[in-house]
Amino acid sequence: MPEKEFYNQVISFAKTHYENFPVISFLLPKKFQKHIAVIYWFARTADDIADEGNLSEEKKLKQLDEFENNFTRALNGNPQNDFESALVHTIKEKNLTRPLFYDLLKAFKQDVVKKRYENFNEVLDYCRHSANPVGRLILELYDIRNEQAFKFSDKICTALQLTNFYQDLLMDFQKGRIYIPIDEIQKYGVNEKSFELKENSLNLQKLLRHNIRRTEQLFNEGRGLLTHLKGRLKFEIAWTILSGEAILKKIKKINYNTINIRPKLNKADHLVLTIKALFI
């Protein structure tokens, strides 16, 4: 099958599964859009399996194992569908680091079986597998492969993942997950009953304030990545950083009440962020 044809499905998939932050921004050159789209397909498909509410943990893990086995088989020259063909083509053409894809799968499997995190180091380890690989893959698509850029990217991706945790506090709790470390929950005198009763207590506010300040610092530390970028990619990453920071500001504006309210960006926010990103 011609290359263009097996990318058509992944482009369509990305267009119809758009979320918080830019996944397949059409501000990026078309030659990169298809590659970003197929990486997104890989991550989103595995994420959907991990989050499928009607399946038991055993069945979710079995499906994720099958997805991983299919991926390995495709890498070894036997793709089963257009999505896998497109993914393998991208990995080979752009010389992407294959273990990064397995890191993502490890995180999705972890989501199935691990619902609590003892300390912040455990949360960071999760982010190292769930978020950081995506940033590194994007840099590799642009043939940016120096360790300093990767470290800056890791900070940004970790900050974005943490931002999503605080934004989706209630949604994750309803799935049985809490990504705020247990030792910090206890330190601030919060218990899980507060989540269940949706009580935006003063202690919960203090807990989230602490976590958000730490996340803001990660965004600040990650901004050094912009010095390694230029053109459209620099704009896209600047916009992404600003978007994450804007969500954190919205959380503070609602007095950290994400146990009841999920803050999100509106059209006016997008316009303001676009203008700001142009001048970074």
Tens of pLDDT, residue by residue over 103-114, are 999 999 999 999
Q: What is the DSSP letter of 263?
A: -
CATH number reported for the structural domain that contains residue 83 in this entry: 1.10.600.10
Q: List Cβ neighbours of 98 (8 Å cut-off, separation of 6 or more).
A: 75, 91
Q: Is the pLDDT of residue 25 over 70?
A: no
Last residue of a domain, which of 57, 88, 113? 113
Q: Which of 185, 164, 168 is nearest to 119 (CA)?
A: 185
Tell me how far CA of residue 196 lies from CA of 177, 193, 260, in angstroms. 12, 5, 11
The structure's pTM equals 0.92
Percent of the chain clearing pLDDT 90 (strictly above)? 80
Q: Determine the Cα–Cα distance for residues 270 and 261; give it in Å rounded to an integer.
A: 20
Residues 276, 194 share a domain: yes
Q: List Cβ neighbours of 188 (8 Å cut-off, separation of 6 or more).
A: 203, 204, 206, 207, 210
Residues 87, 4 share a domain: yes
> Which domain covers residue 106, as residue numbers?
1-113
Tell me how far CA of residue 124 lies from CA of 92, 129, 167, 228, in angstroms. 30, 9, 17, 24
Residues 141, 24 share a domain: no
Q: Determine the Cα–Cα distance for residues 241 and 59; give it in Å rounded to an integer.
A: 36
Residues 143, 35 share a domain: no
Q: Determine the Cα–Cα distance for residues 139 and 133; give it in Å rounded to an integer.
A: 10
Mean pLDDT of 50-67: 93
Percent of the chain clearing pLDDT 70 (strictly above)? 92
